[in-house]
Structure 1
Amino acid sequence: MRHYYEIHGQENKEWLILLHGAGGSTRMWYKQVQAFAKHFKVLVYDIRGHGETLKQMPVDEADYSFDMAAHDLKQLLQQLNIKQAHFCGVSFGTMILQRFVVHYRHMVKSLIFGGLITKYSWFIRGMILVGDKLLVRWCDKDIVYRLFAYLFMPKKRHAAARKLFIRESKKVTTEAFLKWWRAIQKERIFESLPTNINIPTLVMMGDEDHVFLKTAKLIHQKFTNVTFRVFQKCGHVCSLEKPKQFNQYTIDFILSLTSDNAKKVAANE
C-alpha cells in the first residue's frame, strides 16, 4: 500500500479513522486531530487520487470506484493490524464509509458522518449533469471545484471552509479528478446499502447545508441506531465550521459506547 497516512494519539486507545472530503487531504482534519488524539489512537490518510497519496500512487489506467476506495481502506487497516475501529468521514468520505459498511461491516465499531451524502436529490443530479456537460468538458477542473465550493458553502461564514477546500483541491490532478467524477456520476452508494444496519451512528449536519441536509435524513431508512445532530448557522463542512461542537459530540459519542461496553463486560464477570 502506498497511501500517505499519519497516526496520532497513544497506544491502548480505541482506533478512530478519519476520511476527508473530495479534493481534500489529511489537512482537512487540522481542527480535529489534536482533540481526538487525547482520547483515541487516530489514523488520518489521503484517499486515492488526493494529497500526498497522489504522489506516492500515481493515477493508472484503472477506473476509480467506491468499491476500490473501500478496499484501499481495508488494506491499509490490515497493513496496520487494525481489526476494528470507529470511523469518521466528511462529505465524500461518508460515501466511501457507506460502501465500506457493505463489504466490511465486521470491522466497524461505530460511524460518525459529517455533511452526510445519501441519495442524490434532483438538484444534485442536475448539478452533476451540468458539471458533466458544461464544465468538465470545457473548463479547467479548478473552476469546477471553485463553483461547487460556492454552491455547497455560499455564505460569508462558510468562507474559511470554502477557501481550504479550494486550496487543497488544487493538488488533485485533472486525471484523478475526472476518474472520481465518473465514479460519483454512476454510483448509487446509499441505494446499495442493506436495511436494518445496527451500527451505532452519529450524523452531524449544518442547518445551512441546503444541498444535503434533507436527503441526509434518509439515513433512518437504512440504519436503526442513529443519533442526528444539526448545527445552527453552519454549512456543509461542519467539522471546519463548528469544530468545537463536532469534536465534542464525536468524543462523547465514542466514549459513551466504550463505557457501555465496559459495563456489559463487568456485568458478565
Structure 2
Amino acid sequence: MLYYKTYTQAESKEWVVLVHGAGGSSTIWFKQLKDFIKHFNVLLVDLRGHGKSKDIFWNQEYSFKEVSKDVVDVLNHVGIQSAHFIGVSLGTIVIRNIAEVDNSKIKSMILGGAITRLNIRSQFLMRIADWLKRVLPFIWIYTIFAHILMPRRRHRESRSLFIREAKNLRQSEFLRWFTLTAEINPLLRYFNEKEIPVPTLYIMGDEDYMFLPQVKRLVKQHKFSKLFVVENCGHVCNVEQPEIFNELSIEFIKNHS
C-alpha cells in the first residue's frame, strides 16, 4: 500500500485528498497543509515510486488505472467513503481517472496546473524525451522539462522544487512512469468527450502556456467545470500563489460539502 498520512479535524466530517504529480511527493503541499487542516480532515499520499512509497515494490506494469486504484485502496483502508480531491499537474489525470475506477469516492475535484490535452509542442517534447531517456540520466531530462514548463524568474521556486523532488526518484521508476505517456493522449481524449457530473474547479496560472489554452476550451464544453486563472503564475500554482490557491480551494469545498 502507498505511504499516506492523515490529519484529522474534530469539527469536520469532510475529507480532502491531496495528489501530487510525477516526480514529486506529498511534500509539495507544504503551503496548503496549515490552512486546510483548520477546516477539513486531510489525507496525503505518495504515489508509487515517489516520496516514502519509493521502497515499495510493484510487480505489475504501470497504468493510470493501477496508479489510481492505489489511491482508492488507501481511502478504503482509512475508511473514507468519499472525499474532495485536489491535484496538481499529472496528479490531475490520476484524480480524473479515479472517477473512472470508483466515482462514488469523489465529491468534488480541484485541479491545479491541469493537463487536459497535449498540444503539438508538448507531444513533440514527449517524443524528444522518449529518445533522450536512452542516452541521458533522467534527472537531466527532468531539469530540461522544468525549465521549459516554468521558464520565468518568478517560477524559480516551483522549478527548483520540481527538480529537487525528482532527484529522489530512481531511474527504474522514471522509466516505468514514462511508459504511461503512451496512455495519455487516448485517455485525455476520452476525458474531454465524457464529462462526469462532479463539481470541478480548474486553477491555472496565466503563464501556464503549455496547458491553459486546452483547459479554457474544455471548460466551455463541460457544464460542471469552472476555471479560475491566477495572474503572474505558472504551472505549479499551489506553490507560486498559495494564498489564492488555498482561498479558492477552501471556498469551493465548503460550497460543495
TM-score if structure 1 supplies the norm length?
A: 0.91
Query: In the TM superposition, what are the counterparts of 1:216-227 in structure 2 within 5 Å?
Result: 216-220=215-219, 223-227=222-226
SS in 2 for 1:189: helix
| Counterpart residue number, 2:99 | 101
Note the C-alpha offset of 1:98. 1.3
Shift of 1:131: 0.7
**Map of 2:177 onto structure 1:** 180
Q: Distance in 1 between matches of 2:174 and 2:221?
A: 29
User: Equivalent residue for 1:261?
Assistant: none
Equivalent residue number for residue 149 of structure 2: 152
Q: Distance in 2 between matches of 1:59 and 1:257?
A: 36
**Equivalent residues in 2 for 1:190-209 (5 A)?**
190-193=188-191, 195-209=194-208
Aligned to 1:233: 232
Answer yes or no: is 1:41 the counterpart of 2:41.
yes
User: 1 CA distance for matches of 2:163 and 2:233?
Assistant: 18
- Partner residue in 1 for 2:85: 87
* Contact 1:54-1:172 at 8 Å conserved across structures: yes
Q: Name the counterpart of 2:162.
A: 165
Does the CA contact (< 8 Å) of 1:108 and 1:199 recur in 2? yes
Which portions of structure 1, spanning 4 or more consecutive aligned residues, are displaced by more than 6 angstroms? none
Could you tell me the TM-score, scaled by structure 2's length? 0.95
Tell me if structure 2 keeps the 8 A contact 1:19–1:93. yes
Map 1:7-18 to 2 at 5 A: 7-11=6-10, 12-18=12-18
Unaligned runs of 5+ residues in structure 1 are: 259-269
C-alpha contact 1:9 1:38 (8 A) present in aligned 2 = no
Question: How far apart are the structure 2 equivalents of 1:153 and 1:9?
Answer: 34
RMSD (Å) for aligned C-alpha atoms? 1.4
- Is residue 73 of structure 2 the alignment partner of residue 75 of structure 1? yes
Structure 2 Cα separation of the partners of residues 209 and 137 of structure 1 = 28
Show structure 2 runs of 5+ residues with no match: none
* 2:243 is the counterpart of 1:244: yes
Query: What is the rounded CA distance, in whole Å, between the counterparts of 2:20 and 2:141 in structure 1?
Result: 19
Distance 1:69 1:218, change over 3 A: farther
Q: Is the 8 A contact 1:118 1:189 kept in 2?
A: no
Taking only the aligned residue pairs, the percentage that are identical comes to 37
Residue of structure 2 aligned with 1:126, choices 124, 142, 146: 124
Specify the code of the residue in structure 1 equivalent to 2:57.
P
- 2:65 maps to a residue whose letter is D
Q: Distance in 1 between matches of 2:64 and 2:15?
A: 22
Cα distance in 1 for residues equivalent to 2:210 and 2:189:
18
| Residues 126-155 of structure 1, C-alpha deviations (whole Å, 9 max, x = no match) | 00001111x111000010110111011111
Residues paired across the two proteins, number: 254
Q: State the 1:222 CA deviation.
A: 6.5
Query: 1:195, 1:221 within 8 Å by CA — same for their partners in 2?
Result: no
